[in-house]
Amino acid sequence: MPEISAEQVKQLREATGAGVLDCKKALQETDGDFEQAREELRKRGLAEARQKSGRSTDEGIVEAYIHLNGKIGVLVEMNSETDFVARTDEFKELAHNICMQIAAADPDFISREDVPEDIVKQEKTILRQQAEDEGKPEHVIDQIVEGRLDKFYSQVCLMDQTYIKDTEMTVEELINDAIATLGENIRVDRFARFAVGEDD
C-alpha cells in the first residue's frame, strides 16, 4: 500500500467531510489519487452525515462547563434524534468537548448561516478595501475576499473553528464523525458563554 501523508488525508477530509480513517483508506485504495479517492467516498455514501442533517433532533442534553479558574462558564444545548443516543457516554463527551471549545475559542455564532447578512456585507467591504490597498489586481480581488472571508468564519463560527483537541479537524468534522459513529443526526442548538468582567 502506498504511504499516505497526513496532509493528503486532511485535504480529502476538507473536501468530503468524511472521517480520517475512511479518507486514508480511500487514498490507499486509489494509490493516493485525490479525485479517485473523493469519488470512492462519494460512492460509499460516507456523506451520510449530510443525509441525516435534515432529520428532526428533538432530544438531547444541556451541558455545563466551568473553566478551572472559575472565570469562564459555558452552557450548550446539544440535540440528537433519540433520548437513547443523548444518554450515551459518547454523546455526553461530545457535548463536554463542545463546551470546552466554546470556552477556549469564544465563537459568536454556531454556523455561517447564523451570521447576519449585514455583518457579512460589512466584512466583505473591509476585506475588499484591504485587498485594494495592498495593490492586488482587480481580477483576483473577489477570490482574495472569499478566501479571507473563510478565515473570518473560522474565527467567529463554531462549526468552522479548528477543534482545540485536534487541529487537523474542524468542529463540524468532529460532529460529523459523531453522527457517523452514533448513527443519528446531532447538532448544537444554542450556547451561552459567560466570562467574568466581560460585557454582554
What are the pLDDT digits (tens) for 42-62?
A: 666 545 565 665 666 778 999
* CATH 1.10.8.10 residue ranges for the chain: 6-46
pLDDT tens digits, 15-30 = 776 778 888 888 888 8
Strand, helix or coil for residue 14: helix
DSSP H stretches of helix in the chain: 6-16, 20-29, 34-44, 48-52, 83-86, 89-105, 117-133, 138-156, 171-182
Q: What pLDDT does 44 receive?
A: 64
Question: What is 116-156's CATH number?
Answer: 1.10.286
19 close to 45: Cβ distance less than 8 angstroms: no
**Closest residue by Cα to residue 163 from 97, 83, 85, 89:** 97
Alpha carbon distance, N-terminus to C-terminus of the chain: 54
Specify the pLDDT at position 42: 67
For residues 162-185, average pLDDT: 88
Q: What is the pTM of this model?
A: 0.70
Please report the pLDDT score of residue 176 as a whole number.
Answer: 86
Higher pLDDT, 179 or 48: 179
Query: Looking at per-residue confidence, does 47 or 187 come out higher?
Result: 187
**Residue 73: HSE in the Cβ half-sphere, 13 Å Cα cutoff:** 7
pLDDT tier at 200, thresholds 50, 70, 90: low
In what order do the strands lie in the sheet containing 59-66?
59-66, 72-80, 186-195
Give the mean pLDDT of 54-74: 86
Q: What are the backbone dihedrals phi and psi of residue 127, each rounded to the nearest 5 degrees, phi first?
A: -65, -40
Domain 52-110+157-195 = CATH 3.30.2270.10: no
Which helix H or strand E contains 61, and what residues bound it? strand 59-66
Q: Which range is least confidently modeled, 70-79, 102-111, 121-130? A: 121-130
If 0-12 CB within 10 Å is exposed, 13-18 middle and 19+ buried, where does residue 131 land? buried
Range(s) within the chain of domains with CATH label 1.10.286: 116-156
Class of domain 6-46: mainly alpha
The set of cell numbers assigned to 38 is 473523493
- Give the model's pLDDT for residue 93: 96
Which segments of the chain belong to CATH 3.30.479.20? 52-110+157-195
